[in-house]
Amino acid sequence: MNIDFAQVEKFVQLVSSSGVHEVSVIDGKRSLTVTNTTKAQTAQMPTQTQATPQNADFTAPQTPNAQSPDQAKCITSGDVGILSLTKDGKPYVQVGDAVQAGDTVASVAQLGVLMPIIADKAGTVAAVLMSDGERVEYGQAVIELA
């Protein structure tokens, strides 16, 4: 078995610079698994220390008059990555636009691949809850419908 260590090194660097926790590649009888344990990755993960009683009184700062959107009226991301609200310089949707189930309303860049965020319900765009280029998590609300 010949191993191209330059390719392995590039693969490790790609995984460590991304938000991905673990990636496995299988090629016939060979496989390679890379686990991301960088400080940036582990800093995002909650630890038992953060849940101790001495920290229990902490509440996250909130924007004045900010309201949490009704999740039942939201279109959420099915992927983790960098949010793109535009395609070819034009927004996918804007406030006031009518959206049908199955419409692409945004996309998520994930390891260089754009994954569409597809509306699972119809409605009128009431709010775009995130900014272009912002990191988006799985299940995070992106578009709120009226």
Please give the Cα distance from 49 to 68 (Å, whole number).
27
Q: What is the DSSP letter of 7?
A: H
DSSP strands (E only) in the chain:
22-27, 30-35, 74-76, 81-84, 86-87, 90-91, 98-99, 104-110, 113-118, 123-128, 135-136, 141-145
pLDDT digits (tens, 9 = 90+) for 91-103: 999 999 999 999 9
- pLDDT tens digits for the chain (146 residues)? 566 777 777 777 777 777 777 777 777 777 777 777 655 444 444 444 444 444 444 444 444 444 566 778 999 999 999 999 999 889 999 999 999 999 999 999 988 888 999 999 999 999 999 999 999 999 999 999 99
Which structural domains are found in the chain, ordered by start? 5-45 (no CATH), 71-145 (2.40.50.100)
Tally Cβ neighbours within 10 Å of residue 36: 17
Amino acid at 107: S
- Whether the model pTM is above 0.85: no
**In the structure encoding, which two tokens stand for residue 23, read together?**
């990636």
